[in-house]
Structure formats: C-alpha cells, structure tokens
C-alpha cells in the first residue's frame, strides 16, 4: 500500500483529536532540564505529584545537573518525596545527571541533541539506569525536540480499540508503526502524544465514554463489543 494511504488513518486520528481537544501545550516544563527531570519523576505517578517535587527542587535552588549531583541522596530523596518511589527516583535522577555531566552537557543539557544521530543518542539514554523506552523518548521529544514518538499505556489501549494495532505488540513495534507512517516532525509527535493522553484520560478510559468521544465515528471499538 502506498505510504501516504497507510498514513491517512493515523493522521486522521491526530487531526480529529486536535480539532476536538485543541493544542495541549506539552511538555509543562520551563527548561529542557526540567522536562528531563519530569520524565524521570513521572514514572508510576500522577503529574500533580511531579509538580510538587519539582516545586521543591526549585525552592531549594536544586534544579540543575550540578545541584542534583551535589545533594546527598537523603536530601534529594526528601525534596522529591511527593513524586513517590523517592529512593529509586533519587538513584535515577543522579544517574541521569551523571550521564549529562560525563557527556559534557551538564551546564546546558539541550546540547545533547547535537551529539549525533537520534538512534545512537536514544541508545545512550537507554543505557542510563532507570531510563526505559518511554522515558528516553519523552526526553528526546519533549526536552530535546527530536522526532522520537512516545508510546504509553493510553496509546496501546486507544489504538487497539481503533483497530490500528493489535495491542500486545512490543513498545518498539508500536513506536515504529507510528514513525513509519508519520512524517518525522517533532511538533506533530509532540502534539499527537499529548492528545492521546488527553483522550485516554477523559474518554478512552478502561470503561470508555464512547458516546461523547471525538473519534466515535472512526472507531470500530475493537475488543469492546
């Protein structure tokens, strides 16, 4: 099938969501480094908890690579406590900051984007303790502005119900499915993932609200009927 025809349903879902839900203005972080920290802290917790942890880091003047590396583990854990799993996340934040420092971009983490091709950079991130695929792609896309599609549980659920994926594929397979069909446009990937999250939270929930869903006429509701 020609590529532009394959892309059509995927772009149609994006366009419909954007028209219905509006631009989501992601990621809610003031600097690339704040986005990176948020990507680690948001693992297994709600964003409101991440906001409280980041506010603590800001209040302690500790939202920088150097400051986080200077803090003792106990001090850092106390600051990020609202985000949960604070001992694990302390180790992960320190590992990420150590990586940035060793890469020579501690003072300006966005410079990491200039460090080579996306697949190689993604692989380097995945080698950092606690950085899994979703975190790596969130950092690449939302902190560094690179075209790496983010897949999460909402993506899996929504696109399985839409009949565009099976639902049990690996993260890598679903990411590749999106990236093979969409142009490598960071702005498009940014908005699309944010819209998917909005739909998953408000409509395509475990018990879906199909009657009011903006995709209802596009959706076979696979697995639900």
Query: Which residues of this chain interact with ligand SF4, rule CB under 6 A?
Result: 158, 161-162, 203-204, 208-210, 213, 215-216, 219, 221, 224
Output the smallest distance, CB 16 to ligand SF4, in A.
10
- In the complex with ligand SF4, the residue whose CB is nearer, 17 or 96, is 17
Output the smallest distance, CB 224 to ligand SF4, in A.
6
DSSP string, 85-102: -HHHHHHHHHHHHHHHHH
- In the complex with ligand SF4, the residue whose CB is nearer, 1 or 168, is 168
Peptide bond into 27 cis (omega under 30): yes
Cα distances (angstroms) measured from residue 188 to each of 145, 147, 160:
11, 9, 21
- In the complex with ligand SF4, the residue whose CB is nearer, 77 or 197, is 197
Output the smallest distance, CB 22 to ligand SF4, in A.
17
Output the smallest distance, CB 19 to ligand SF4, in A.
15
- In the complex with ligand SF4, the residue whose CB is nearer, 131 or 213, is 213
Output the smallest distance, CB 151 to ligand SF4, in A.
16
- In the complex with ligand SF4, the residue whose CB is nearer, 21 or 95, is 21
Q: What are the b/e assignments for 51-85, b being 16+ CB within 10 Å?
A: bebbebbeeeebbbbeebeebeeeebbebbbbbbe
How many residues are recorded in the chain?
225
Q: Is 153 exposed, middle or buried (0-12, 13-18, 19+ CB in 10 A)?
A: exposed
């Amino acid at each position: 099938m020609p590529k532009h025809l394959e892309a059509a349903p995927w772009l149609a879902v994006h366009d419909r969501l954007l028209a219905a839900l509006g631009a989501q203005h992601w990621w809610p972080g003031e600097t690339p480094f704040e986005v990176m920290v948020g990507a680690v802290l948001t693992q297994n917790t709600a964003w409101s908890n991440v906001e409280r942890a980041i506010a603590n880091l800001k209040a302690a003047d500790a939202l920088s690579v150097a400051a986080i590396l200077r803090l003792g583990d106990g001090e850092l854990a106390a600051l990020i406590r609202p985000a949960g799993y604070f001992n694990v996340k302390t180790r992960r934040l320190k590992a990420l900051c150590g990586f940035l420092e060793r890469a020579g971009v501690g003072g300006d983490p966005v410079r990491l984007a200039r460090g080579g091709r996306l697949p190689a950079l993604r692989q380097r991130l995945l080698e950092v303790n606690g950085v899994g695929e979703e975190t790596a792609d969130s950092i690449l896309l939302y902190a560094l502005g690179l075209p790496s599609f983010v897949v999460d549980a909402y993506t899996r659920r929504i696109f399985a119900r839409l009949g565009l994926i099976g639902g049990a594929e690996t993260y890598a397979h679903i990411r590749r499915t999106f990236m093979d069909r969409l142009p490598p446009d960071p702005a498009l990937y940014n908005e699309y993932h944010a819209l998917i999250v909005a739909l998953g939270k408000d409509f395509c929930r475990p018990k879906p609200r199909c009657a009011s869903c903006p995709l209802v006429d596009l959706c076979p509701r696979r697995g639900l009927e």
